[in-house]
Amino acid sequence: MAPALVIAAHGSHLNAESSTPTYTHADTIRATGAFAEVRESFWKEEPSFREALRTVDADEVYLVPLFISEGYFTEQVIPREFRLGGWDPDLWSSDGTSATHATLTADDTGQTVHYCGPVGTHDAMSDVIVQRAESVTGDPDIGEGVGLAVVGHGTERNENSAKAIEYHAGRIRDRGRFDEVQALFMDEDPEVDDVTEYFESDDIVVVPLFIADGFHTQEDIPEDMGLTDDYRLGYDVPTAVDGHDIWYAGAVGTEPLMADVVLERAADAGADVEAAIEQVRERTSGANPAAGD
Amino acid sequence: MHGDHVDALVATAPDGIAFDDLRVDREGDRYAFETPEETHGALNEDDLRAVAADSPFVRNWYFWHAVAPQKADRWAFLRWLEDAEETALERRLENLADGVVSEWGQLRVTATVDDGGERRYHVRHVDDARADPAALTAHEDPRAARDLAKHDERGRYRPLKSAPTLRTGWRFADRSAADLVETVETFYPASVANWHREREGELDVTHWHETVERQTGIYGVVQTWDRGEGYEHVNWVAEACCADSQCLKRREWHYDDETELDVDGGDGVVPCREPCSVVIAAARQWTKLESEESRTYEFELTPSEKEQVEGIVDAVADGSVGDIREADVYEDANRYRARFLRAKRFDGEGNLSGAPTDRDGGE
Ligand code: SF4
């Protein structure tokens, strides 16, 4: 029987839209027919991590966390809740941004689970950030004369969360496409509040490395950067701040190309999804965001 | 499609078939075919084809083995919907012709059968049982259930899918078996799997204490709530969150293996096998609040005011505040009544009867 894909995402008890990107990306992958089944599962919604595996028929499952960084959720919560027997973070032999995959057996269902690193630290995520910059500016060649800020939490909650931001900022900087690339943080220096101080370029594209839009991406960051005094009133894209034009993209996780990263994770773990990857790349490049900002 | 059931039967016949009142046995290079309606022996393959072609028993066998989802729990659920293990096929087909109704949470599922023996299913809200189909919005894609399940009738987000707050006004008509299962599982995730495990005597219940012990991160604190005497606090949690008025799953978890809770787990068809994330998140807050000791306060209230305070708590706890009419000043939780009480009994700081909150235990 063909294997199944299970996506593990955070979800929310309070925000109805938190799960929207997860469903959207799952639908994109479902449409490729690459897996017998595609199942969404959530820490805060249903099906829960505890009960997702029993809802799929396949004996073999690719489990991909729709999380930004490696750490608490990917190394402790998900393996524990999915009852992945014999899990040890060393199986990924990661330095914080280089997780691979591990093949384990679920204690409660006996299914073979290829447990993959999170989407956020996969190299393909850099492409999604760039594509996000393209979609928010409507310019497929965006880069020249433009600064790019990749924004995340700081280390306060998870040391690796800053690493993931810096990793992608570094990779995109090395490509030389944008005049400037800078990692910024919400709770430590360099802070997103001072975004304009870190760029010479007139135009700054700001892409938060978050899976879903919510409190941080819709309220905190826009207010911190001075796009608006009150997030409920909204803001323009771009908004002029201190003589710069700020193109604020909202959560990168709503970018349709994210579905590609999920597939890449599964492919790295051995899933036969090359055709699906082609199809998804074709379908999602230059598409509109998965969820409204 | 036409004739598929015959081809499948002929392909399977050499191994013998015994299913739902259909028997096909191999006898040398011939076959015996038996149903409550007819018995034939010494059939060659062409004879077998001829006999099978119009047999509702063969079409039924084909549906259950080639059309219905084969995952054991999905299959068992579909069988349960038409009471297949208890009712002979001929009777079942008559029942299905009229439509066999089952309830699953707030879903009303009607199983029917088409001329080819294929089951077709209809789903609507239990409260829409008698609604004119034209008055209900028709959906086909099981994924439409996602949006229907997301908000209640008043547009409030439903974090708990098993809360009895599913909105009405929609229907899924004439769905296949696979679509039906997916629709049901979208409204009530994992319900079919856990229901089936329970029927098989294999429901893996994780009780409260074990669930709490597993928590880490910001939920790790809940472990400290279990360090006191007894399990009364868990009774309160279950009464607050798991009663049928709040959640349609039947709570099967208790304090631990040996300690049953004293409150009723409910009557739902779907079992709940461990405290859910909504309960754990609430328990985290209760753990913090319950670390406080009681104080003695002196409040001055008239008898009716005391009862009004109780009435307000009841109205909030029962979710009935929104139903109280604007000018229904006979209700304790009426807005004017509550505002009057506040105007009279709260001081400038919002203290009831002017009694300050004693945060430090009177020192
Ligand atoms: S823990 Fe209680 S509220 Fe949560 S799903 Fe189970 S029965 Fe319902």
Q: What is the CA radius of gyration of chain A?
A: 19
Both A233 and A270 in one domain: the answer is: no
Both A115 and A139 in one domain: the answer is: no
In angstroms, what CA-CA distances link A13 with A16, A18, A250, B32, B149? Answer: 8, 9, 21, 60, 14
What residue type is B50 in one-letter code? Answer: A
Contacts with A, B 151-210, CB within 8 Å: 151, 157, 159-162, 185, 189-190, 192-194, 197, 204
Residue B214: which CATH number?
3.30.70.2320
pLDDT tens track for B304-361: 999 999 999 999 999 999 999 999 999 999 999 999 999 999 999 999 999 999 988 7
Residue A178 has pLDDT above 60, yes or no: yes
Q: Is the CB of B117 under 6 A from ligand 1?
A: no
Which residues in chain B are contacts of A45 at CB distance < 8 A? 159, 161, 277
Domain boundary among B246, B262, B289: B289
pLDDT tens track for A41-69: 999 999 999 999 999 999 999 999 999 99
Both B266 and B231 in one domain: the answer is: yes
Q: Classify residue A243 by burial, with Cβ atoms within 10 Å: 0-12, 13-18, 19+.
A: exposed
User: Omega before B159 cis (within 30°)?
Assistant: no
Residue A290: inside a domain:
no
3-state secondary structure chain A: CCCEEEEEECCCCCCCCCCHHHHHHHHHHHHHCCCCCEEEEECCCCCECCCCHHHCCCCEEEEEECCCCCCHHHHHHHHHHCCEECCCHHHHCCCCCCCCEEEEEECCCCCEEEEECCHHHCCHHHHHHHHHHHHHHCCCCCCCCEEEEEEECCCCCCHHHHHHHHHHHHHHHHHCCCCEEEEEECCCCCEHHHHHHHCCCCEEEEEECCCCCCHHHHHHHHHHCCCCCCHHHCCCCCEEECCEEEEECCCHHHCCCHHHHHHHHHHHCCCCCHHHHHHHHHHHCCCCCCCCC
Both A261 and A236 in one domain: the answer is: no
Both B77 and B99 in one domain: the answer is: yes
In chain B, the number of structural domains is 4
pLDDT tens track for A63-97: 999 999 999 999 999 999 999 999 999 999 999 99
* Domain interval for residue B333: 296-363
DSSP β-bridge partners for residue B113: B119
Closest chain A residue to the Cα of B280, Cα to Cα: A44
Both B61 and B81 in one domain: the answer is: no
Domain boundary among B12, B30, B65: B65
> 3-state class of B22 per DSSP?
strand
Q: What is the mean pLDDT of chain A?
A: 94
What residue type is A202 in one-letter code? Answer: D
Which residues in chain B are contacts of A47 at CB distance < 8 A? 189-190
Question: Residue B266's pLDDT is what?
Answer: 96
Residue A100: which CATH number?
3.40.50.1400
What phi and psi values does residue A61 have, to the nearest 5 degrees? -130, 135
Domain boundary among B32, B65, B98: B65
Both B131 and B173 in one domain: the answer is: yes
Both A145 and A100 in one domain: the answer is: no
pLDDT tens across the length of chain B (363 residues): 468 999 999 999 999 999 999 999 999 999 999 999 999 999 999 999 999 999 999 999 999 999 999 999 999 999 999 999 999 999 999 999 999 999 999 999 999 999 899 999 999 999 999 999 999 999 999 999 999 999 999 999 999 999 999 999 999 999 999 999 999 999 999 999 999 999 999 999 999 999 999 999 999 999 999 998 899 999 999 999 999 999 999 999 999 999 999 999 999 999 999 999 999 999 999 999 999 999 999 999 999 999 999 999 999 999 999 999 999 999 999 999 999 999 999 999 999 999 999 988 755
Question: Residue A154's pLDDT is what?
Answer: 82
Both B171 and B271 in one domain: the answer is: no
- Rounded Cα gap, residues A152 and A183, in angstroms: 8
In angstroms, what CA-CA distances link A26 with A123, A207, A273, B156? Answer: 20, 22, 14, 25
A13·B278 Cβ contact <8 A = yes
| ipTM summary value | 0.94
Both A241 and A129 in one domain: the answer is: yes
Both B58 and B115 in one domain: the answer is: no
Over residues A21-25, the mean pLDDT reads: 98
Q: Is the CB of B162 under 6 A from ligand 1?
A: yes
* Domain interval for residue A223: 124-253
Both B255 and B333 in one domain: the answer is: no
Both B83 and B193 in one domain: the answer is: yes
Question: Residue A153's pLDDT is what?
Answer: 87
> From the CA of A146, how many Å to the nearest CA of chain B?
39
In chain A, the number of structural domains is 2
Question: Residue A155's pLDDT is what?
Answer: 76
Percent residues over pLDDT 90 in chain A: 89
DSSP single-letter state for residue B202: -
Q: Is the CB of B171 under 6 A from ligand 1?
A: no
Residue A289: inside a domain:
no
What phi and psi values does residue B183 have, to the nearest 5 degrees? -65, -50
Both A26 and A103 in one domain: the answer is: yes
Residue A207: inside a domain:
yes
> 3-state class of B306 per DSSP?
helix
- Rounded Cα gap, residues B287 and B226, in angstroms: 9
> 3-state class of B141 per DSSP?
coil
For A226, half-sphere exposure in the C-beta direction (CA atoms, 13 angstrom radius) is: 14
Q: What share of chain B is helix, strand, coil (3-state, %, to 5)?
A: 45, 15, 40
Question: Residue A265's pLDDT is what?
Answer: 98
Q: What is the CA radius of gyration of chain B?
A: 29
Residue A235 tokens read as 């803001």
Question: Residue A285's pLDDT is what?
Answer: 79
The pTM (predicted TM-score) of the whole model is: 0.95
Question: Residue B362's pLDDT is what?
Answer: 58
Residue A293: inside a domain:
no
DSSP β-bridge partners for residue B22: B19
Both B81 and B153 in one domain: the answer is: yes
Name residue, tokens 């405290």.
B275
Q: Which of ligand 1's atoms lies nearest the C-alpha of B250?
A: 7
- Rounded Cα gap, residues A67 and B228, in angstroms: 37
Closest chain A residue to the Cα of B214, Cα to Cα: A80
Both B56 and B77 in one domain: the answer is: no
Stated length of chain A: 293
A46·B190 Cβ contact <8 A = yes
Question: Residue A80's pLDDT is what?
Answer: 98
Q: Is the CB of B249 under 6 A from ligand 1?
A: yes
